[in-house]
Amino acid sequence: MNLIANYEKKVYAALLGKVIGVYMGRPFEGWARARLEERWGRVDRYVHEDVDKPLVVADDDISGTLTFVRALEDSGKYADTPTEFFGDTWLNYLLEGQTVLWWGGMGVSTEHTAYLRLKHGLKAPLSGAIATNGQTVAEQIGAQIFIDAFGMVAPGNPKLAATMARRAASVSHDGEAVNAAIVVAGMVSAAFVETDMERLLDIGASLIPDDSLIARIHHDVRCWQREDGDWRRTWERINEAYGYHRYGGNCHVVPNHAIMVLAWCYAPDDFHEAQVIINTAGWDTDCNAANVGSVMGVKVGLDRISEVYDFQSPFADRVILPTAEGTRGFTDVLNEALHVARIGRHVMGWPEAVPPKEGAWHHFSLPGALHGYMSDETAFESRGNATLTNTAVPPTGEHGMQVDFRCDAGRVARISTPILAAGKSGSYGIVATPRLCSGMSVHMAISASEVVGAVIARLFVRHSGEGVCCYSPATSLEKGQDTVLHLTIESIGGMPVSDFGLEMQSPSRASGRLLVDRVWFDGKPAMEWPDGPAVREGTFPGWIKHADVVRGGFSDDSERMIHVGKNEGRGILVTGTSDWGDYAFRSRVKIHLADAGGIIVRYQGMERYIALLKTPDALRLILRLNGEERVLDEVPMAWPFDEAHDLELICHGEGLLASCDGEIVLRGRDRWLRCGGAGFLFENGLLGFRGVAVGPLVDPILTESRAK
């Protein structure tokens, strides 16, 4: 199929519409229409502050959408990825009780039920089948809410989108839930080339059986809309025929899909009005508004999403994306959209796009995109002193971030973007690892179009909300000057970076306007934790923990260690990101009544990593890839419980070297996993550790030759 013009921009619009819907509907999720109308009349804006809730939240609609589509690239088969592999993807990226899903329990949460089936060895699609879990559980709403990205990666090809959507949805759902998911994915796909809502609805319904319940809903709601001319009257008919009182479970797909059709019918060309209707209609508002938003976003186009109401700037593209692989735990809509589009180009057999601004981390290349940057309103000294907008710069028309600021002797202008999220967001856990760390450098290209007074600018990073902890050298700003600011992150005691930004200061009253063109980073991680990473209430800030036990030492320990453990099965404690390629990771380790334990490198999830693992009778270098485990090298080794040894894993290109107590004992090669974080693995018991360090290779040429 021919390339679609402005494909990346359309994916951005689709994903932006999805996220806007979640943020608009989440504060009153589950409310009835009567309660919503009594409180607000029409829900025509973000109302999170009215109910004292945050706007940017972790939500399964976003996390599931952006996680499960990764199966396409992880399998390497893209459009031909089999259903079973989508289930494997769940096991790789989900941490039970922590990430992506609502963990409501077996038979209560459809997704939790399916996860437990997968965990206990049942493969997809049986994990989500009616025959396995019963019709009511299998026909809840989850498949529909996770599905939009499968339309985004098959632009203009709704049949292909439907094929992939069916496989992905069948991991956890069946029956009408899968039909509803197929309709949404097909409509998103078709909206890349079709702008007439009647045609889009026809296309969506054509992808499922004519005698299905979802097809009947489409027929009924569209007929009622033509007869009624009033969405509230049509809502009453929907409630009578398809309401919650007729379809059981926690959140059945049927009522919610019906009011999505309602919103599309009554606001076929108006993004804002479609959001007003679907949110005021009630029920599962964040899910419904997200699906409606993704279709409407790509249909009306990026430039019309905020034509009535400013949906974008209040959250500046911020997205929390907690998975078992922490690289993108705090991310932004534009970068996630470009990731989805890269997958889509592979699916469609198109050439890869040229990365904006030479692959910059933040490039502001599409209208409205701010990559999460906001004025720092957390401190009095900076509150209200900066305004940010995305702007096109003549004569090229390239976009950048405009910063209008003011400062004086007692107040600064400070903008920042989050690097790390932690804790919980409602019922959803937040786990992540920081994208920036000690040993890395960050660079920001700026130009000063206006400066009044003496102003200096500095980059900064902060950790754990405890104030600025690392500044770049100060640079004086001059009107008309282009400059690049550089910050090398020195040792910050192993604490994780929480945010990154730019600060302007002046000894007297000053103001100005900057244009930030791009931000990029480079360098290798270089961190040490002599006593192990900091522990706070059983958590490790900046690390992903899948463990049942966290404790200090025992009374008979010969040296102080932190202990982590898993009562049953394998657990992990990892940090780092997919930016980590070649490096060395080491730690002093002991096994305390565990079947196995050791260290990990190139971690990409619970089913994708390389480990140096001590088993009862051997030390093994293993590759874990998509549920299968292969021994790359091993050596017999007796290692009594509670005896400590120094382990190190070095990875350089395909080469791997493992040492124990300073001597190289194992060698291996792997061509699959070329990047990822590092940490610890423990199985059916406790692992003790201290003296943890990660750093660049001292002599990579020697390392590579020794690994061969």
* 362: DSSP letter: B
Q: What pLDDT, in 10s, does the model give residues 283-334?
A: 999 999 999 999 999 999 999 999 999 999 999 999 999 999 999 999 999 9
The count of domains in the chain is: 3
Structural domain boundaries enclosing 414: 379-523
The answer to whether 27 touches 49, Cβ cutoff 8 Å, is no
pLDDT band at 466 (very low <50, low <70, confident <90, very high): low
Q: What pLDDT, in 10s, does the model give residues 662-677?
A: 999 999 999 999 999 9
Same domain, 513 and 560: no
Same domain, 469 and 536: no
Same domain, 423 and 498: yes
Same domain, 519 and 571: no
Same domain, 50 and 171: yes
Choose among 399, 372, 401, 408: nearest CA to 387: 401
pLDDT band at 223 (very low <50, low <70, confident <90, very high): very high
Same domain, 394 and 436: yes
The answer to whether 237 touches 259, Cβ cutoff 8 Å, is no
Query: Quick check: is 580 in a domain?
Result: yes
Number of Cβ atoms within 10 Å of the Cβ of 37: 16
Query: Quick check: is 697 in a domain?
Result: yes
CATH of the domain at 637: 2.60.120.560
Distance CA 50, CA 187 (A): 33
Same domain, 502 and 533: no
What pLDDT does 701 receive? 42
Residue 252 to residues 28, 43, 601, Cα–Cα distance (Å):
18, 23, 42
φ, ψ dihedrals at 237, nearest 5°: -65, -40
Amino acid making up residue 34? A
Same domain, 497 and 620: no
Distance CA 592, CA 551 (A): 12
Same domain, 546 and 641: yes
What pLDDT does 5 receive? 94
Question: How large a percentage of the chain has pLDDT more than 70?
Answer: 97
Number of Cβ atoms within 10 Å of the Cβ of 701: 9
Residue 422 to residues 118, 275, 464, 495, 497, Cα–Cα distance (Å):
27, 30, 10, 13, 12
Distance CA 193, CA 67 (A): 25
- In DSSP terms, 445 is beta-bridged to 484, 518
Q: What pLDDT, in 10s, does the model give residues 155-197?
A: 999 999 999 999 999 999 999 999 999 999 999 999 999 999 9
- In DSSP terms, 689 is beta-bridged to 562, 589
Q: What pLDDT, in 10s, does the model give residues 366-420?
A: 999 999 999 999 889 999 999 999 999 888 899 999 999 999 999 999 999 999 9
Q: What pLDDT, in 10s, does the model give residues 624-682?
A: 999 899 999 999 999 899 999 999 999 999 999 999 999 999 999 999 999 999 999 99
Amino acid making up residue 244? Y
Q: Residue 470: pLDDT above 60? A: yes
Query: Quick check: is 346 in a domain?
Result: no
What pLDDT does 1 receive? 60
